[in-house]
A and B are shown apart, each in its own frame.
Chain A
Protein backbone atom coordinates (compact mmCIF):
# COMPACT_ATOMS: atom_id res chain seq x y z
CA UNK A 1 0.00 0.00 0.00
CA UNK A 2 0.97 3.62 -0.44
CA UNK A 3 1.81 6.40 1.96
CA UNK A 4 -1.68 7.86 1.74
CA UNK A 5 -3.47 4.92 3.30
CA UNK A 6 -0.95 4.70 6.12
CA UNK A 7 -1.18 8.32 7.15
CA UNK A 8 -3.31 8.91 10.22
CA UNK A 9 -5.97 11.00 8.51
CA UNK A 10 -5.94 8.96 5.29
CA UNK A 11 -7.21 5.96 7.26
CA UNK A 12 -10.46 7.76 7.90
CA UNK A 13 -11.27 8.40 4.24
CA UNK A 14 -13.21 5.10 3.91
CA UNK A 15 -15.11 5.93 7.11
CA UNK A 16 -16.17 9.25 5.60
CA UNK A 17 -17.20 7.44 2.42
CA UNK A 18 -19.28 4.99 4.42
CA UNK A 19 -20.83 7.91 6.30
CA UNK A 20 -21.78 9.64 3.06
CA UNK A 21 -23.26 6.42 1.73
CA UNK A 22 -25.23 5.92 4.96
CA UNK A 23 -26.56 9.49 4.73
CA UNK A 24 -27.48 8.89 1.10
CA UNK A 25 -29.30 5.63 1.87
CA UNK A 26 -31.18 7.07 4.85
CA UNK A 27 -31.99 10.35 3.10
CA UNK A 28 -33.09 8.49 0.00
CA UNK A 29 -35.42 6.32 2.03
CA UNK A 30 -36.97 9.30 3.82
CA UNK A 31 -37.41 11.13 0.52
CA UNK A 32 -38.73 8.04 -1.25
CA UNK A 33 -41.42 7.64 1.34
CA UNK A 34 -42.50 11.27 0.89
CA UNK A 35 -42.66 10.89 -2.89
CA UNK A 36 -44.29 7.47 -3.00
CA UNK A 37 -46.40 7.50 0.13
CA UNK A 38 -50.15 7.82 0.18
CA UNK A 39 -51.63 11.19 0.99
CA UNK A 40 -54.23 10.75 3.70
CA UNK A 41 -56.74 13.20 5.06
CA UNK A 42 -55.88 15.07 8.24
CA UNK A 43 -58.32 15.38 11.05
CA UNK A 44 -58.23 16.70 14.57
CA UNK A 45 -58.43 13.25 16.10
CA UNK A 46 -55.69 11.89 13.82
CA UNK A 47 -53.38 14.67 14.95
CA UNK A 48 -53.65 13.85 18.65
CA UNK A 49 -50.91 11.98 20.45
CA UNK A 50 -51.42 8.23 20.57
CA UNK A 51 -52.46 7.17 24.02
CA UNK A 52 -54.36 4.00 23.31
CA UNK A 53 -57.45 5.87 22.17
CA UNK A 54 -57.86 8.16 25.18
CA UNK A 55 -57.98 11.91 24.65
CA UNK A 56 -54.54 13.09 25.88
CA UNK A 57 -54.50 15.05 29.12
CA UNK A 58 -51.78 17.58 29.90
CA UNK A 59 -48.51 18.22 28.12
CA UNK A 60 -46.48 15.67 26.19
CA UNK A 61 -43.35 15.62 28.28
CA UNK A 62 -44.18 14.00 31.60
CA UNK A 63 -42.13 14.78 34.69
CA UNK A 64 -39.48 12.19 35.32
CA UNK A 65 -38.06 10.50 38.36
CA UNK A 66 -34.86 12.18 39.52
CA UNK A 67 -33.24 8.74 39.30
CA UNK A 68 -32.80 9.12 35.56
CA UNK A 69 -30.69 12.24 36.05
CA UNK A 70 -28.68 10.49 38.72
CA UNK A 71 -27.94 7.63 36.36
CA UNK A 72 -26.75 10.09 33.72
CA UNK A 73 -24.36 11.70 36.20
CA UNK A 74 -22.98 8.39 37.39
CA UNK A 75 -22.56 7.32 33.78
CA UNK A 76 -20.29 10.26 32.99
CA UNK A 77 -18.20 9.45 36.05
CA UNK A 78 -17.68 5.79 35.21
CA UNK A 79 -17.43 6.22 31.47
CA UNK A 80 -14.47 8.55 31.90
CA UNK A 81 -12.90 5.87 34.05
CA UNK A 82 -13.34 3.36 31.23
CA UNK A 83 -11.76 5.76 28.74
CA UNK A 84 -8.71 6.04 31.00
CA UNK A 85 -8.46 2.27 31.21
CA UNK A 86 -8.06 1.73 27.46
CA UNK A 87 -4.64 3.32 26.94
CA UNK A 88 -3.44 1.59 30.08
CA UNK A 89 -4.63 -1.78 28.80
CA UNK A 90 -2.84 -1.31 25.48
CA UNK A 91 0.59 -0.58 26.92
CA UNK A 92 0.23 -2.85 29.95
CA UNK A 93 2.12 -5.91 28.70
CA UNK A 94 4.80 -3.85 27.02
CA UNK A 95 5.60 -2.07 30.27
CA UNK A 96 5.31 -5.26 32.34
CA UNK A 97 8.09 -6.77 30.26
CA UNK A 98 10.51 -4.09 31.47
CA UNK A 99 11.55 -4.56 35.12
CA UNK A 100 11.81 -0.79 35.67
CA UNK A 101 8.14 -0.13 34.92
CA UNK A 102 6.52 -3.48 35.76
CA UNK A 103 5.42 -2.57 39.29
CA UNK A 104 4.62 1.04 38.46
CA UNK A 105 2.11 0.19 35.72
CA UNK A 106 0.32 -2.37 37.89
CA UNK A 107 0.09 -0.44 41.15
CA UNK A 108 -0.62 2.90 39.50
CA UNK A 109 -3.78 1.56 37.92
CA UNK A 110 -4.63 -0.38 41.08
CA UNK A 111 -4.60 2.84 43.08
CA UNK A 112 -6.68 4.60 40.40
CA UNK A 113 -9.25 1.82 40.52
CA UNK A 114 -9.08 1.87 44.32
CA UNK A 115 -10.06 5.53 44.45
CA UNK A 116 -12.96 4.89 42.09
CA UNK A 117 -14.00 1.87 44.11
CA UNK A 118 -14.36 4.15 47.15
CA UNK A 119 -16.63 6.39 45.06
CA UNK A 120 -18.61 3.41 43.88
CA UNK A 121 -19.09 2.06 47.41
CA UNK A 122 -20.17 5.55 48.53
CA UNK A 123 -22.76 5.75 45.74
CA UNK A 124 -23.90 2.23 46.60
CA UNK A 125 -24.28 3.04 50.30
CA UNK A 126 -26.15 6.28 49.55
CA UNK A 127 -28.56 4.10 47.58
CA UNK A 128 -27.84 5.87 44.29
CA UNK A 129 -28.26 2.56 42.49
CA UNK A 130 -31.47 1.56 44.30
CA UNK A 131 -34.23 2.17 41.82
CA UNK A 132 -37.14 1.47 44.18
CA UNK A 133 -36.23 3.67 47.15
Chain B
Protein backbone atom coordinates (compact mmCIF):
# COMPACT_ATOMS: atom_id res chain seq x y z
CA UNK B 1 0.00 0.00 0.00
CA UNK B 2 3.04 2.27 -0.18
CA UNK B 3 2.06 3.66 -3.56
CA UNK B 4 -1.37 4.53 -2.18
CA UNK B 5 0.05 6.57 0.69
CA UNK B 6 2.16 8.59 -1.72
CA UNK B 7 -0.90 9.90 -3.55
CA UNK B 8 -2.31 13.25 -2.55
CA UNK B 9 -5.34 13.17 -0.22
CA UNK B 10 -7.85 14.18 -2.89
CA UNK B 11 -6.90 11.30 -5.18
CA UNK B 12 -6.94 8.94 -2.22
CA UNK B 13 -10.43 10.09 -1.30
CA UNK B 14 -11.69 9.65 -4.85
CA UNK B 15 -10.16 6.18 -5.15
CA UNK B 16 -11.55 5.06 -1.80
CA UNK B 17 -14.98 6.39 -2.75
CA UNK B 18 -14.83 4.49 -6.04
CA UNK B 19 -13.86 1.37 -4.11
CA UNK B 20 -17.08 1.76 -2.12
CA UNK B 21 -19.43 3.00 -4.86
CA UNK B 22 -18.81 0.24 -7.41
CA UNK B 23 -19.24 -2.82 -5.13
CA UNK B 24 -22.27 -1.29 -3.39
CA UNK B 25 -24.02 -0.61 -6.70
CA UNK B 26 -23.18 -4.10 -7.97
CA UNK B 27 -24.39 -5.76 -4.76
CA UNK B 28 -27.56 -3.68 -4.91
CA UNK B 29 -28.25 -4.83 -8.47
CA UNK B 30 -27.56 -8.43 -7.49
CA UNK B 31 -29.86 -8.07 -4.52
CA UNK B 32 -32.56 -6.64 -6.80
CA UNK B 33 -32.28 -9.67 -9.10
CA UNK B 34 -32.48 -12.13 -6.24
CA UNK B 35 -35.28 -10.29 -4.45
CA UNK B 36 -37.35 -10.90 -7.57
CA UNK B 37 -36.52 -14.60 -7.33
CA UNK B 38 -37.27 -14.61 -3.59
CA UNK B 39 -40.58 -12.93 -4.29
CA UNK B 40 -41.53 -15.58 -6.83
CA UNK B 41 -40.42 -18.41 -4.56
CA UNK B 42 -42.21 -17.08 -1.45
CA UNK B 43 -45.32 -16.31 -3.47
CA UNK B 44 -45.26 -19.84 -4.86
CA UNK B 45 -44.87 -21.32 -1.38
CA UNK B 46 -47.79 -19.27 -0.07
CA UNK B 47 -49.99 -20.34 -2.96
CA UNK B 48 -48.89 -23.97 -2.67
CA UNK B 49 -47.01 -23.95 -5.95
CA UNK B 50 -43.36 -24.79 -6.68
CA UNK B 51 -42.22 -21.58 -8.34
CA UNK B 52 -39.25 -21.23 -10.69
CA UNK B 53 -37.21 -24.45 -10.51
CA UNK B 54 -35.90 -25.08 -14.04
CA UNK B 55 -32.82 -22.83 -14.24
CA UNK B 56 -30.37 -24.44 -11.85
CA UNK B 57 -31.08 -25.93 -8.41
CA UNK B 58 -34.04 -24.09 -6.78
CA UNK B 59 -34.08 -21.81 -9.82
CA UNK B 60 -31.03 -19.84 -8.74
CA UNK B 61 -30.07 -18.95 -12.34
CA UNK B 62 -33.58 -17.65 -13.04
CA UNK B 63 -32.70 -13.94 -12.59
CA UNK B 64 -29.81 -14.30 -15.06
CA UNK B 65 -31.91 -16.05 -17.64
CA UNK B 66 -34.62 -13.40 -17.16
CA UNK B 67 -32.08 -10.64 -17.76
CA UNK B 68 -30.73 -12.32 -20.90
CA UNK B 69 -34.25 -12.80 -22.16
CA UNK B 70 -35.08 -9.13 -21.52
CA UNK B 71 -32.05 -8.03 -23.52
CA UNK B 72 -32.82 -10.22 -26.51
CA UNK B 73 -36.51 -9.36 -26.77
CA UNK B 74 -37.69 -6.85 -29.35
CA UNK B 75 -37.26 -3.31 -28.07
CA UNK B 76 -40.48 -1.98 -29.53
CA UNK B 77 -41.34 1.71 -29.54
CA UNK B 78 -44.97 2.06 -30.66
CA UNK B 79 -45.78 4.78 -33.14
CA UNK B 80 -48.12 6.77 -30.92
CA UNK B 81 -45.74 7.37 -27.99
CA UNK B 82 -43.80 10.55 -27.22
CA UNK B 83 -40.38 9.19 -28.15
CA UNK B 84 -37.97 11.24 -26.02
CA UNK B 85 -39.91 10.82 -22.80
CA UNK B 86 -40.59 7.21 -23.64
CA UNK B 87 -36.84 6.56 -23.54
CA UNK B 88 -36.17 8.86 -20.63
CA UNK B 89 -38.81 7.50 -18.23
CA UNK B 90 -37.25 4.08 -17.42
CA UNK B 91 -33.91 5.76 -16.74
CA UNK B 92 -35.55 8.35 -14.47
CA UNK B 93 -37.17 5.55 -12.47
CA UNK B 94 -33.96 3.52 -12.17
CA UNK B 95 -31.35 6.23 -11.43
CA UNK B 96 -32.93 7.70 -8.24
CA UNK B 97 -33.63 4.17 -7.04
CA UNK B 98 -29.90 3.45 -7.18
CA UNK B 99 -28.96 6.81 -5.67
CA UNK B 100 -31.03 6.50 -2.50
CA UNK B 101 -28.56 4.16 -0.81
CA UNK B 102 -25.71 6.70 -0.89
CA UNK B 103 -26.26 8.00 2.65
CA UNK B 104 -27.17 4.74 4.36
CA UNK B 105 -24.41 3.35 6.62
CA UNK B 106 -24.26 -0.31 5.63
CA UNK B 107 -21.54 -1.21 8.13
CA UNK B 108 -19.33 0.39 10.75
CA UNK B 109 -15.73 0.44 9.58
CA UNK B 110 -13.33 -1.55 7.46
CA UNK B 111 -9.85 -0.44 8.46
CA UNK B 112 -10.09 3.35 8.71
CA UNK B 113 -12.96 3.66 6.24
CA UNK B 114 -16.52 4.36 7.38
CA UNK B 115 -18.85 2.01 5.55
CA UNK B 116 -21.12 4.61 4.00
CA UNK B 117 -20.80 6.05 0.51
CA UNK B 118 -21.39 9.67 1.47
CA UNK B 119 -21.59 10.60 5.15
CA UNK B 120 -23.75 13.67 4.50
CA UNK B 121 -24.83 15.83 7.40
CA UNK B 122 -28.24 16.30 5.74
CA UNK B 123 -28.64 12.48 5.50
CA UNK B 124 -32.36 11.94 5.58
CA UNK B 125 -33.23 15.09 3.64
CA UNK B 126 -31.09 13.77 0.79
CA UNK B 127 -32.96 10.47 0.84
CA UNK B 128 -36.37 12.11 0.80
CA UNK B 129 -35.24 14.43 -1.99
CA UNK B 130 -34.04 11.58 -4.18
CA UNK B 131 -37.06 9.40 -3.42
CA UNK B 132 -39.35 12.23 -4.59
CA UNK B 133 -37.55 12.25 -7.94
CA UNK B 134 -38.74 8.69 -8.53
CA UNK B 135 -42.27 10.07 -9.00
CA UNK B 136 -41.20 11.92 -12.15
CA UNK B 137 -40.15 8.73 -13.91
CA UNK B 138 -43.52 7.13 -13.34
CA UNK B 139 -45.55 10.20 -14.29
CA UNK B 140 -43.39 10.64 -17.37
CA UNK B 141 -43.89 6.99 -18.33
CA UNK B 142 -47.65 7.45 -18.11
CA UNK B 143 -47.51 10.66 -20.13
CA UNK B 144 -45.04 9.35 -22.72
CA UNK B 145 -47.16 6.31 -23.53
CA UNK B 146 -49.91 8.63 -24.84
CA UNK B 147 -52.52 6.00 -24.18
CA UNK B 148 -55.33 5.72 -21.64
CA UNK B 149 -54.33 2.99 -19.20
CA UNK B 150 -50.72 4.10 -18.71
CA UNK B 151 -51.83 7.71 -18.31
CA UNK B 152 -54.31 6.73 -15.61
CA UNK B 153 -51.67 4.60 -13.89
CA UNK B 154 -49.12 7.41 -13.94
CA UNK B 155 -51.57 9.93 -12.51
CA UNK B 156 -52.71 7.54 -9.82
CA UNK B 157 -49.12 6.82 -8.90
CA UNK B 158 -48.21 10.48 -8.57
CA UNK B 159 -51.23 11.31 -6.41
CA UNK B 160 -50.56 8.30 -4.20
CA UNK B 161 -46.85 8.90 -3.85
CA UNK B 162 -47.12 12.57 -3.00
CA UNK B 163 -49.89 11.87 -0.48
CA UNK B 164 -47.86 9.32 1.40
CA UNK B 165 -44.66 11.29 1.13
CA UNK B 166 -46.10 13.77 3.62
CA UNK B 167 -46.97 11.05 6.11
CA UNK B 168 -43.54 9.52 5.58
CA UNK B 169 -41.71 12.81 6.06
CA UNK B 170 -43.69 13.60 9.22
CA UNK B 171 -43.42 10.14 10.72
CA UNK B 172 -39.64 10.32 11.18
CA UNK B 173 -39.57 13.76 12.82
CA UNK B 174 -39.99 12.31 16.36
CA UNK B 175 -36.84 10.26 15.70
CA UNK B 176 -34.88 13.41 14.92
CA UNK B 177 -36.43 15.23 17.86
CA UNK B 178 -34.86 12.60 20.07
CA UNK B 179 -31.59 12.04 18.22
CA UNK B 180 -31.08 15.70 17.27
CA UNK B 181 -29.14 14.92 14.08
CA UNK B 182 -30.02 14.17 10.46
CA UNK B 183 -26.77 12.31 9.81
CA UNK B 184 -27.62 8.62 9.57
CA UNK B 185 -24.30 7.41 10.99
CA UNK B 186 -25.04 9.33 14.17
CA UNK B 187 -28.64 8.05 14.18
CA UNK B 188 -27.23 4.52 14.17
CA UNK B 189 -24.66 5.45 16.83
CA UNK B 190 -27.43 6.64 19.15
CA UNK B 191 -29.02 3.18 19.08
CA UNK B 192 -26.20 1.30 20.80
CA UNK B 193 -26.79 -0.58 24.06
CA UNK B 194 -30.09 -1.71 25.57
CA UNK B 195 -33.25 0.27 26.29
CA UNK B 196 -33.69 1.93 29.66
CA UNK B 197 -37.10 0.45 30.53
CA UNK B 198 -36.19 -3.18 29.80
CA UNK B 199 -32.45 -3.89 29.64
CA UNK B 200 -32.94 -7.10 27.61
CA UNK B 201 -34.20 -5.33 24.51
CA UNK B 202 -31.74 -3.53 22.24
CA UNK B 203 -31.80 0.26 22.31
CA UNK B 204 -33.29 0.44 18.81
CA UNK B 205 -35.50 3.40 18.04
CA UNK B 206 -38.69 1.29 17.76
CA UNK B 207 -38.31 0.04 21.31
CA UNK B 208 -37.39 3.36 22.91
CA UNK B 209 -40.88 4.78 23.38
CA UNK B 210 -44.48 4.27 22.20
CA UNK B 211 -44.25 7.46 20.09
CA UNK B 212 -41.30 6.08 18.20
CA UNK B 213 -43.04 2.74 17.70
CA UNK B 214 -45.95 4.68 16.19
CA UNK B 215 -43.44 6.54 14.01
CA UNK B 216 -42.27 3.22 12.67
CA UNK B 217 -45.80 2.01 12.02
CA UNK B 218 -46.60 5.10 9.96
CA UNK B 219 -43.28 4.92 8.14
CA UNK B 220 -43.84 1.26 7.28
CA UNK B 221 -47.28 1.88 5.78
CA UNK B 222 -46.01 4.94 3.90
CA UNK B 223 -43.07 2.91 2.58
CA UNK B 224 -45.47 0.36 1.09
CA UNK B 225 -47.39 3.17 -0.58
CA UNK B 226 -44.23 4.89 -1.82
CA UNK B 227 -42.89 1.75 -3.44
CA UNK B 228 -46.29 1.00 -5.03
CA UNK B 229 -46.45 -2.40 -3.41
CA UNK B 230 -49.59 -4.25 -2.51
CA UNK B 231 -51.84 -3.34 -0.62
CA UNK B 232 -51.18 0.01 -2.34
CA UNK B 233 -50.39 -1.11 -5.88
CA UNK B 234 -53.20 0.87 -7.50
CA UNK B 235 -50.93 2.42 -10.14
CA UNK B 236 -50.30 -1.05 -11.51
CA UNK B 237 -53.60 -2.74 -10.66
CA UNK B 238 -53.46 -5.46 -13.30
CA UNK B 239 -57.18 -6.16 -13.15
CA UNK B 240 -58.18 -2.53 -13.72
CA UNK B 241 -55.35 -0.97 -15.69
CA UNK B 242 -53.73 -4.08 -17.17
CA UNK B 243 -50.38 -3.05 -15.66
CA UNK B 244 -50.55 0.74 -15.41
CA UNK B 245 -47.78 3.05 -16.50
CA UNK B 246 -45.58 0.33 -18.02
CA UNK B 247 -48.07 -1.21 -20.49
CA UNK B 248 -46.52 0.17 -23.65
CA UNK B 249 -42.99 -0.83 -22.64
CA UNK B 250 -41.19 -3.95 -23.73
CA UNK B 251 -37.83 -5.69 -23.25
CA UNK B 252 -35.26 -4.05 -20.96
CA UNK B 253 -37.27 -0.84 -20.56
CA UNK B 254 -40.00 -2.82 -18.87
CA UNK B 255 -37.37 -4.59 -16.79
CA UNK B 256 -35.96 -1.22 -15.69
CA UNK B 257 -39.31 -0.25 -14.14
CA UNK B 258 -39.42 -3.58 -12.41
CA UNK B 259 -35.86 -3.27 -11.13
CA UNK B 260 -36.53 0.30 -10.03
CA UNK B 261 -39.43 -0.89 -7.91
CA UNK B 262 -37.29 -3.54 -6.23
CA UNK B 263 -34.35 -1.18 -5.74
CA UNK B 264 -36.76 1.25 -4.07
CA UNK B 265 -38.01 -1.54 -1.88
CA UNK B 266 -34.45 -2.38 -0.81
CA UNK B 267 -33.73 1.29 -0.15
CA UNK B 268 -36.89 1.59 1.96
CA UNK B 269 -35.91 -1.53 3.91
CA UNK B 270 -32.40 -0.19 4.47
CA UNK B 271 -33.88 3.10 5.61
CA UNK B 272 -36.17 1.40 8.11
CA UNK B 273 -33.32 -0.72 9.44
CA UNK B 274 -31.14 2.37 9.83
CA UNK B 275 -33.76 4.59 11.45
CA UNK B 276 -35.65 2.12 13.59
CA UNK B 277 -33.73 -1.15 13.94
CA UNK B 278 -30.25 -0.03 14.86
CA UNK B 279 -28.54 -0.28 11.47
CA UNK B 280 -25.47 -2.48 11.76
CA UNK B 281 -25.60 -2.76 15.58
CA UNK B 282 -26.46 -5.78 17.67
CA UNK B 283 -26.46 -5.48 21.48
CA UNK B 284 -24.50 -8.73 21.83
CA UNK B 285 -20.78 -9.47 22.12
CA UNK B 286 -19.87 -5.77 21.93
CA UNK B 287 -21.14 -5.45 18.36
CA UNK B 288 -22.55 -1.99 19.17
CA UNK B 289 -19.24 -0.20 18.83
CA UNK B 290 -17.59 0.50 15.46
CA UNK B 291 -15.47 -2.47 14.45
CA UNK B 292 -11.70 -2.40 14.99
CA UNK B 293 -10.84 -5.58 13.11
CA UNK B 294 -11.46 -6.57 9.51
CA UNK B 295 -13.63 -9.49 10.61
CA UNK B 296 -15.71 -7.23 12.84
CA UNK B 297 -16.22 -4.82 9.96
CA UNK B 298 -17.41 -7.60 7.67
CA UNK B 299 -19.64 -8.96 10.44
CA UNK B 300 -21.32 -5.54 10.76
CA UNK B 301 -22.01 -5.46 7.03
CA UNK B 302 -23.43 -8.97 7.37
CA UNK B 303 -25.71 -7.91 10.24
CA UNK B 304 -26.97 -4.94 8.25
CA UNK B 305 -27.67 -7.03 5.15
CA UNK B 306 -29.37 -9.65 7.33
CA UNK B 307 -31.73 -7.07 8.83
CA UNK B 308 -32.50 -5.68 5.36
CA UNK B 309 -33.33 -9.19 4.13
CA UNK B 310 -35.78 -9.64 7.02
CA UNK B 311 -37.52 -6.39 6.06
CA UNK B 312 -37.62 -7.52 2.41
CA UNK B 313 -39.28 -10.78 3.38
CA UNK B 314 -41.91 -8.74 5.26
CA UNK B 315 -42.48 -6.66 2.11
CA UNK B 316 -42.95 -9.82 0.03
CA UNK B 317 -45.06 -11.51 2.67
CA UNK B 318 -47.44 -8.54 2.91
CA UNK B 319 -47.80 -8.45 -0.86
CA UNK B 320 -49.20 -11.96 -1.01
CA UNK B 321 -51.32 -11.65 2.15
CA UNK B 322 -53.45 -8.58 1.59
CA UNK B 323 -55.98 -7.53 -1.05
CA UNK B 324 -55.72 -4.15 -2.73
CA UNK B 325 -57.23 -0.95 -1.32
CA UNK B 326 -59.88 1.00 -3.21
CA UNK B 327 -58.64 4.40 -4.37
CA UNK B 328 -60.86 6.48 -2.07
CA UNK B 329 -59.82 4.29 0.88
CA UNK B 330 -56.19 4.87 -0.02
CA UNK B 331 -56.61 8.63 -0.07
CA UNK B 332 -58.67 8.54 3.14
CA UNK B 333 -55.97 6.58 4.93
CA UNK B 334 -53.24 8.93 3.78
CA UNK B 335 -54.87 12.29 4.33
CA UNK B 336 -57.46 11.68 7.07
CA UNK B 337 -55.77 9.06 9.22
CA UNK B 338 -52.00 8.99 8.86
CA UNK B 339 -51.39 12.72 8.44
CA UNK B 340 -53.21 13.80 11.65
CA UNK B 341 -51.75 10.87 13.59
CA UNK B 342 -48.21 11.72 12.42
CA UNK B 343 -48.80 15.37 13.33
CA UNK B 344 -50.13 14.45 16.77
CA UNK B 345 -47.15 12.17 17.24
CA UNK B 346 -44.77 15.07 16.65
CA UNK B 347 -46.63 17.30 19.12
CA UNK B 348 -46.78 14.58 21.79
CA UNK B 349 -43.08 13.79 21.45
CA UNK B 350 -42.14 17.47 21.58
CA UNK B 351 -44.37 18.07 24.61
CA UNK B 352 -42.94 15.04 26.39
CA UNK B 353 -39.39 16.28 25.86
CA UNK B 354 -40.43 19.78 26.94
CA UNK B 355 -42.00 18.51 30.18
CA UNK B 356 -38.89 16.50 31.00
CA UNK B 357 -36.53 19.42 30.35
| Interfacial residues, chain A to chain B (CB-CB below 8 A) | 1-5, 10-15, 17-19, 21-23, 25-27, 29-30, 32-34, 36-40, 42, 46-52, 56, 60-62, 64, 68, 71-72, 74-75, 78-79, 82, 85-86, 89-94, 96-97, 102, 106, 109-110, 113, 117, 120, 124, 129-132
Q: Which of B155-163, B222-230, B282-290 contacts A (4 or more CB under 8 A)?
A: B155-163
B interface list, Cβ under 8 A from A: 9-10, 12-14, 17-18, 20-22, 24-25, 29, 70-76, 78-80, 87, 90-91, 94-95, 98-99, 102, 112, 117-121, 124-126, 143, 145-149, 151-152, 155, 158-159, 162-163, 165-166, 169-170, 173, 176-178, 180-182, 242, 247-248, 251-253, 255-256, 327-328, 331-332, 335-336, 339-340, 343, 346-347, 350-351, 353-354, 357
Pairwise interchain contact A62-B148, C-beta atoms closer than 8 A: yes
Are A25's CB and B98's CB within 8 A? Answer: yes
Return the chain A residue nearest B263 by Cβ. Answer: A22
A12 touches B73 (CB 8 A): no
The verdict on A33 contacting B71 (CB below 8 Å), with A86-B173, A90-B181 known, is yes
A-B contact pairs, 19 of them (CB 8 A): A2-B12, A13-B14, A14-B21, A14-B118, A17-B21, A18-B99, A21-B22, A26-B94, A26-B95, A29-B256, A30-B253, A71-B159, A90-B176, A90-B180, A90-B181, A93-B178, A93-B180, A97-B357, A129-B336
Chain A residue contacts of B24, Cβ below 8 A: 18
CA–CA, A91 and B176, complex, Å: 9
- Which single member of A12, A34, A39, A93 contacts B177 (CB below 8 Å)? A93
CB distance from B180 to the nearest CB of A (A): 5
Given contacts A12-B120, A13-B14, contact A129 B182 (CB under 8 A): no
Complex partner residue of A78 from B70, B74, B91, B166, CB under 8 angstroms:
B166
18 further A-B contacts with Cβ under 8 Å, apart from A1-B112, A71-B331, are A11-B121, A15-B118, A18-B21, A19-B99, A21-B21, A21-B22, A21-B98, A30-B87, A33-B251, A37-B252, A50-B247, A82-B173, A86-B124, A94-B180, A106-B350, A113-B346, A120-B343, A131-B332
B336 touches A50 (CB 8 A): no
Instruction: With CB as the reference atom, state the residue of chain A lying closest to B160.
Output: A71
> Contact between B251 and A37 (Cβ–Cβ < 8 Å)?
yes
A71 touches B353 (CB 8 A): no
* Total A-B pairs, Cβ < 8 A: 227
Residues of A within 8 A of B9 (CB): 2-5
A47 touching B125 by the CB < 8 A rule? Answer: no
Is the pair B253, A33 in contact by a Cβ cutoff of 8 Å? yes
In angstroms, how far is the closest chain A Cβ from the Cβ of B51?
26
The answer to whether A18 touches B102, judged by C-beta atoms less than 8 angstroms apart, is yes
CA of A71 to CA of B330, assembled, Å: 13
Are B75 and A34 in touch, CB under 8 angstroms?
yes
Instruction: Let me know if B252 and A29 touch, CB within 8 A.
Output: yes
Residues of A within 8 A of B145 (CB): 49, 60
CA distance A47 to B152 in the complex (A): 20
Indicate if the CB atoms of A56 and B159 lie closer than 8 Å: no
Partner of A38, one of B74, B248, B335: B74
A22-B94, A29-B252, A82-B170 given; A49·B177 CB < 8 A: no
Q: Find chain B residues with CB under 8 A from A15 CB.
A: 99, 102, 117-118, 120, 126
Task: List chain B residues, Cβ under 8 A from A129.
Answer: 331-332, 335-336
CB-defined contacts of B25 to chain A, threshold 8 Å: 18, 21-22, 25
How far is the CB of B4 from the nearest CB of chain A, in Å?
13
Q: Which residue of B lies closest to A5 (CB)?
A: B13
Q: Are A17 and B17 in contact (CB under 8 A)?
A: yes
Find out whether the CB atom of B76 lies under 8 angstroms from the CB atom of A40: yes
Please give, as numbers and ranges, the residues of chain B lying within 8 Å of A131 by CB-CB distance. 327-328, 331-332
The smallest C-beta distance from A91 to any residue of chain B, in angstroms, reads 8
Complex CA distance for A94 and B327, rounded to whole angstroms: 43
Given contacts A2-B9, A22-B98, A26-B91, contact A62 B76 (CB under 8 A): no
